[in-house]
Amino acid sequence: MADHDAAKPLKDFQPKHKFFIGIDSDGCVFDTMEIKQKECFIPNTVKYWNLQSVSKYVRQTEEFVNLYSKWRGTNRWPALITLFDLLEERDEVKKRGVQIPRVQPLRDWISRETKLGNPALKKEVERTGDPVLKQGLEWSEAVNASIADMVHGVGPFAYVRQCLEKMNPLADIIVVSQTPCQALTKEWREHALDGFVEIIAGQEMGTKAEHLKFAAAKKYPPNHILMIGDAPGDMEAAQSNNALFFPINPGEEDKSWQRLYEEGLDKFFAGSFAGSYEKKLIAEFDEYLPSQPPWKSGE
């Protein structure tokens, strides 16, 4: 089937170096998460899902899910479901008698599809004609249009370029992201970083775990595979492939990249990254993002 071919570049990829590094993009390389969520995702969520009467709570909840919690960096579709579930639980929303979308067809689609991007959803809409899936596609396309219109000139964090220059002679590098490929390619090209990477993998090519599995697992020794990311999902993708993980701590991105440049990469290439050093990094990272929403803390 054609939709399985999207991951072909990853499956066909052959090592050129002894080491492999996967790097997330939004919020990790580029400081784009705030502008994308606050100016592009949230306004379109309010508009396309008819949540105008609770827009205040949509904004607060969506910011928590996508920026300030353990769900940070999740693909837009599971994140949307999490948003709706949290909104439905909120007393403020219940008091207004607002019907939060149940979107069961979207839930079903997410449960059986791993390439959670517009191309796969478009095929599903064409196949089923389902109005909820159609509404979801319209929302997603509107988000992409807003991002294309709004997000430009947002450069990489400090030390990103130096890290890429340091990695480049020793490692094969790919972008591992749940952002659409088109937006990723535009951003990496805009800031002349695309020349450092072999493949720019977005949501159309599968999950982050699948990106690492297809491109790197069984092609390199596990301690020669490193994932760099700013969200728990990046760490889970690494761990599910027995790869190493270097966290970019949300709110401390410049400092994290400097640490990677000054010590992390040296340890990775020297074979001394695994063990106590990685454990220490992960323990620190774990402190940055809560799983409990602030409005529930008083319960």
Q: Give per-residue pLDDT as tens, 211-242.
A: 999 999 999 998 999 999 999 999 999 999 99
Tell me: the pLDDT tens digits for 236-279? 999 999 999 999 999 999 999 999 999 999 999 999 999 999 99
Question: What pLDDT score was predicted for residue 299?
Answer: 47
The answer, yes or no, to whether residue 176 has pLDDT greater than 50, is: yes
Q: Do residue 215 and residue 185 come from a single domain?
A: yes
**Could you tell me if residue 243 is inside a domain?**
yes
The domain tally of the chain equals 2
Q: What percent of the chain has pLDDT over 70?
A: 98
Flag whether pLDDT at 66 surpasses 50. yes
Region 14-20: mean pLDDT is: 98
pLDDT at 121: 97
Q: Which of 150, 169, 196 is the last residue of a domain?
A: 150
Exposure b/e, 209-229, CB count within 10 A at least 16 = b: bbbbbbbbbeebeebbbbbbb
Do 162 and 277 lie in one domain? The reply is: yes
Domain co-membership, 136 together with 182: no
What is the residue range of 72's domain? Answer: 33-150
Residue 1 pLDDT greater than 90, yes or no: no
Same domain, 165 and 140: no
The domain boundary, picked from 86, 116, 150, lies at: 150
Instruction: Answer whether residue 172 shows pLDDT above 90.
Output: yes
CATH of residue 216's domain is 3.40.50.1000
- In this prediction, residue 73 has a pLDDT band, given cuts at 50, 70 and 90, of confident
**pLDDT score, position 298:** 56
Over residues 63-67, the mean pLDDT reads 96
In a domain, 1, yes or no: no
169 with 73, same domain: the answer is: no
274 & 210 share domain: yes
pLDDT tops 80 at residue 120: yes
Per-residue model confidence (pLDDT) at position 108: 97
Q: What per-residue confidence (pLDDT) applies to 105?
A: 97
Instruction: Specify if 219 maps to a domain.
Output: yes
Last residue of a domain, one of 84, 118, 150: 150
**For range 133-147, the mean pLDDT:** 97
Both 100 and 193 in a single domain? no
Tell me the percentage of the chain whose pLDDT exceeds 90: 93
Is residue 293 one of the residues assigned to a domain? Answer: no
User: Same structural domain for residues 130 and 214?
Assistant: no
CA angle 60, 34, 181 (to 5 degrees): 120
Q: Is residue 6 part of a domain?
A: no
**For all residues of the chain together, what is the average pLDDT?**
95
